[in-house]
Amino acid sequence: MASWIETIMDSMGVWGIAFLMFLENVFPPIPSELIMTLAGFSASRGETSIVLVIVAGSLGSVAGAVFWYGIGRMFDHERVKSFADRHGRWITLTRADIERTDDWFDRYGHWAVLFGRLIPTIRTLISLPAGLSEMAFWRFLAFTSIGTAAWTTFLALCGYWLGSDYHMLEEWLDPVSLGVVALVAAIYIWRFVTFPATHRDGRE
């Protein structure tokens, strides 16, 4: 994958970094850790500016976050709740859960977006509930931009400082990403198994 990322960057320059970071948010298997550290390494060799690397990576990543936020905003609340009434066990959510999540996002959603953008895997997923909860777009954009800029800056500078050893950061972050995925899967399984019987057929 590294060679493919390098090819995109070589052919498109900093726009390639933005494009790859957008794809990373839309298709999470493309790792931001590899994209931004490799871009930082390229900057350390004088091929581009580290500032441009950070700006391009942040813009592409924010665009991807806005994409998922927009998907979330497309869903009508009542339809989502009706879907939960019928298929709640499979999504491990009841109508009451959705209402509580909406209330929680109204109060603390901006912090969830900010810090969620700093956590592998979660950084992609957090935009969807923000859209579903109808968080104000400019509020979402402000906090997701701050979190995104912090994440891309960290990765780019690591690549810049580590030089040809930039891949070491990816090796360190991979277990963290896998741990987050495993935790999310474990929580889903637990909620599925313990889902209240009164909600399994769509009735209270």
> Mind listing the pLDDT tens digit for each residue in 9-24?
888 888 999 999 998 8
Range of the domain at 69: 2-199
Buried b or exposed e, range 73-92, using 16+ CB within 10 angstroms: beeeeeebbebbeeebbebb
Residues in the chain: 204
Instruction: Identify the band that residue 73 occupies on the pLDDT scale cut at 50, 70 and 90.
Output: confident
Q: How many domains does the chain have?
A: 1
Contact 89, 195 (CB under 8 A): yes
Residue 171 has pLDDT above 80, yes or no: no
Helix (H) or strand (E) holding 31: none
| Mean pLDDT for the stretch of residues 160-165 | 74
DSSP label of 199? G
In a domain? residue 170? yes
Between 42 and 95, name the one with better pLDDT: 42
In a domain? residue 29? yes
In a domain? residue 161? yes
CA angle 71, 133, 20 (to 5 degrees): 40
In a domain? residue 204? no
